[in-house]
Amino acid sequence: MGSLNWDYLDKPEDMLAVIDGSLATSGAFTRDKLFVRSLERLPWHYVTALWGIEAIKELYTPEIAGRIWPKDRRYHFDFALAVLRREPLPSARWGDEHYKQILLNSPRHQMFMQFEK
């Protein structure tokens, strides 16, 4: 709980009560705010242990996704939740843009480029 409230003085017991739904708020924290903070600051296995899979599937909405920072993390959670909800998965992001980025940064490409100079 320390990584969720290091900048607040809320008691961990109150925050856990908000998470399980027995308390509406704890200081500045609502259930949604704690959920977003959990997604932003905790490893996935801690999030699932703290919230439970069913609560995560219920709470993760487009509005919640829009509040996650940094934006790159949203893609990972969108994918994980699609798996949990048994939804169709987005196609792999292996378009030209990603392929070129990986190719240009590969050691093999850099090795060949030194011969072309």
Which of the four pLDDT bands, split at 50, 70 and 90, describes residue 73?
confident
Number of domain units in the chain: 1
CB 73 within 8 A of CB 65: no
Q: Whole-number mean pLDDT of the chain?
A: 83
Q: Give the tens place of pLDDT for each residue, 14-71.
A: 999 999 999 999 988 999 999 999 999 999 999 999 999 999 999 999 999 999 998 8
Which residues on adjacent β-strands are paired with residue 30? 25
Range of the domain at 97: 2-115
Does residue 109 carry a pLDDT above 60? no
0.75 surpassed by pTM: no
Residues 40, 94: Cα–Cα separation, whole Å: 25
Say how far residue 24 (Cα) sits from the centre of its chain: 23
